[in-house]
Copies of this chain bind each other. A is one copy, B any other.
Amino acid sequence: MIKAAVTLFKQKGFHRTTTREIAKESGFSIGTLYEYIGSKEDILYLVCDAIYDEVRENLMQRLNHDVEGIESLKSAIAALFKVIDDLQDEVLVMYQESKSLPKEALTYVLQKENGMVAMIEEVIKECVVRGDLHLSEDEVKLGANNILVQAHMWTFRRWVVQNKYSLEEYTDLQTNLILKGLLKN
C-alpha cells in the first residue's frame, strides 16, 4: 500500500492523488484501505515514516566500519549518496510532500531526520576526536547538515545534477568540495 502511494505521490503529488487511486494501485478496495488508515494524511505519514526507516536501514548496511578517520567519512558520504540514489523517488516524495503532514506528524518526521543528521555528525566527530579534522561543534553540526542536503540535492535538483554528472562523479566532486572546500590550499 505504501509502495503504491509512493508511486502515485511521485507521479502526481499528494494532493492530486486520490484515495481511490491509491486503493486501486494497492489492489485493495477503498473500503479495505480505510480499514488500515484513518485518513488520507495517515497514508502520507506512513509513507514518510517508511521511507525514512528504509533510508536509515539501507544506510546502516552500507556503512563501512573497517575504515577509520577521513576514509570513514568519505565512505559514509558515498554510502549516503548511494542510498539516496537508490531510494530517489521515495526521498523526493518525502521532501516535497512532508509539508502536507499534520503538525504533529511533521514534528515526528523531522525528529527522525534529525537522527539522520546525528549519524553523520558522529562520523565527523570521530575524525575530530582522532585529530583528522579541526572543527568547532557548530561546524560539525552544519557540515553534517550540508552533507545530508547535498545528498538530497541529488534528487531535488536532479534536472541539473543528474543531467550533468554520474552518481560517482557527483559523489567525488562533492566529497572533494566538502572536504577541501573551494579554496584549495
Q: Taking beta carbons and an 8 Å cutoff, which residues of A are in contact with B?
A: 13, 15, 70, 73, 96, 99-100, 110, 114, 117, 124, 133-135, 138-139, 141-143, 145-146, 149-150, 153, 157, 159-161, 164-165, 169-170, 173-174, 176-185
A114 to chain B: closest residue by CB: B160
Q: Do B169 and A179 touch across chains, with their CB atoms under 8 A apart?
A: no
A62 to chain B minimum Cβ distance, whole angstroms, is 21
Instruction: Name A's interface SS.
Output: helix
Across the interface, A110 reaches (CB within 8 A) one of B145, B159, B170, B180, namely B159
A123 to chain B minimum Cβ distance, whole angstroms, is 11
Q: Quick one: given A15-B15, A149-B149, A157-B145, are A139 and B173 in contact (CB under 8 Å)?
A: yes
Across the interface, A177 reaches (CB within 8 A) one of B110, B114, B143, B170, namely B143
Complex formed: what's the CA distance from A70 to B185 in Å?
14
Q: Do B169 and A138 touch across chains, with their CB atoms under 8 A apart?
A: yes
Across the interface, A178 reaches (CB within 8 A) one of B160, B170, B182, namely B182
Q: Quick one: given A138-B169, A169-B138, are A184 and B133 in contact (CB under 8 Å)?
A: yes
Chain B residue numbers with a CB within 8 Å of A15 are 15, 100
Complex formed: what's the CA distance from A20 to B77 in Å?
47
Across the interface, A183 reaches (CB within 8 A) one of B99, B138, B161, B180, namely B180
Complex formed: what's the CA distance from A26 to B141 in Å?
42
A143 to chain B: closest residue by CB: B182
